[in-house]
Amino acid sequence: MIEAAIGIDIGGTNSVFGIVDKEGKCLSESSIKTNEHETAREFVNTMADEIKKLIKGYKEELNIVGIGIGAPNGNYFNGTVEFAPNLRWRGVIPFCELFKEHFNMPIILTNDANAAAIGEMMYGAAKEMRDFFIVTLGTGLGSGFVANGEMIYGHDGFAGELGHTIAVSDGRACGCGRKGCLEQYASASGIVKTVKELLKKNNKSILNEIPEEEITSKNIFEAAKKGDKLALEAFDYTGKILGRSLADAVAITSPEAIILFGGLALAGDYIFEPTKRYMEENILNIFKNKVKLLPSKITDSNAAILGASALVWKDLE
C-alpha cells in the first residue's frame, strides 16, 4: 500500500488535481473546468467524484492521508477562499468544509504562492532552508514567506501580499483600488504594460508588428532573445522595480534565498540578471551579496499539484 496525498490547485480557468507520494512523485492527475459550475458546491461535488475515480483507477492500493488545496485568496486558518477576483463565486467560500462532506481526512488550504513555497521547501530549490521567500510572477505577483522553517500565515492567514506593496509612488492603477502596486510592474501582465508604454514613445521594435492588445510576456521574451532593444529595456525596467522591492523585503526578513517562480521567471537571465543587479544596487550593505536569487526547481507541468500536496506532509510533521 502506498501512502499518498491529494494536491488540488484551484485556478481561474482550470483546476488541476492529482495523487502525490511523499517523495513528490505525481502518481496520477486530472483537471476540470473551474468556472463552468454555477455554485462552488457543484464544483466541489464534481471534483470530489473525479478524485475518487482517480484513486479507484490507480493500479496499486493507496492510503490517502490528506488533501492540500492551493487557491487564490486562500485562508489557511479558516479553510476558505475569500473574495477571489478571478473566481465566479463571490464572497467567502468554505472550500475545506465543502470537501469534508466527501472526504474524512485532514484538508488544508492556503493561497497558491504559499503552497508553492512549501513545495519548494519539500521538493525544490528551498530544501533544507529555514528562511526564504518565493515570488510567483504570473498574471499577478504572489509571494510566500518562510521564517524559522515555518510558513508565515500572519494573524489572519493572509500574509505574503508582496504584490500589493507600493513599488512606484502614485504609479499604475491596481485592481485593488490603489496605485503603484508591485504586481502592476513585476508580473506577466506588468511587463506587457511596460512594453505598451515604451511603444508609445518609440516604435522601433519588432513588437510593433503585433496588434497591441495581443502582446504577451512570451512575445516580449521572444523579442528579447532576438536582441530587440525595446524588449530588453522592458525586462530591465521590470527587474529594476522588482529588484528594489526585493531589497526592501530582504531588510525585513533577511532570507537565505529568494525563489522566482511562474511564467515570467521562465525568461531566465532576461529577468534574473536585471532583478539581481538592481536588488544588489539597492540593498542595505549588511545584506550585500548574501541573498541567492534562484529559479524554482519544481518545473514539471504539475508544480501546482505538487505544492498543494506538500501542504499535507508539512502539516503532518
Binding interface with its own copies (CB under 8 A): 73, 82-83, 130-132, 143, 145, 147-148, 150, 152-162, 164-166, 169, 176-178, 244, 247-249, 251-256, 282, 284-287, 290
Q: Calculate the alpha carbon distances from 212 to 42, 193, 194, 206 in Å.
A: 38, 10, 12, 12
Q: Which is nearer to its own copies, 247 or 266 (CB)?
A: 247
Distance CA 264, CA 193 (A): 14
Q: Which is nearer to its own copies, 148 or 301 (CB)?
A: 148
The contacts found for 201-207 with CB under 8 angstroms, 24 or more apart, are: 202/230, 204/229, 204/230, 205/229, 205/230, 205/231, 206/231, 207/231
Amino acid at 212: E
Nearest approach in angstroms of CB 287 to its own copies is: 7
Beta carbon of residue 8, minimum distance to its own copies (angstroms, whole number): 23
Tell me whether residue 68 or residue 144 sits nearer to its own copies (CB atom): 144
Q: How far does the chain reach from its first CA to its final CA, in angstroms? A: 21
3-state DSSP call for residue 235?
Answer: helix
| CB closer to its own copies, 55 vs 174 | 174
d(CA 109, CA 314): 12
Of the pair 84, 264, the CB lying nearest its own copies is at 84
State the Cα–Cα distance between residues 76 and 111, nearest whole angstrom. Answer: 8
- Closest CB 49 distance from its own copies, rounded Å: 33
**Cα–Cα distance, 262 to 188 (Å, whole number):** 9
CB of 160 to its own copies, least distance (A): 7
CB 201 within 8 A of CB 222: no
Please report how close the Cβ of residue 81 comes to its own copies at its closest, in angstroms.
Answer: 12
For its own copies, the closer CB: 110 or 219: 110
Beta carbon of residue 3, minimum distance to its own copies (angstroms, whole number): 27
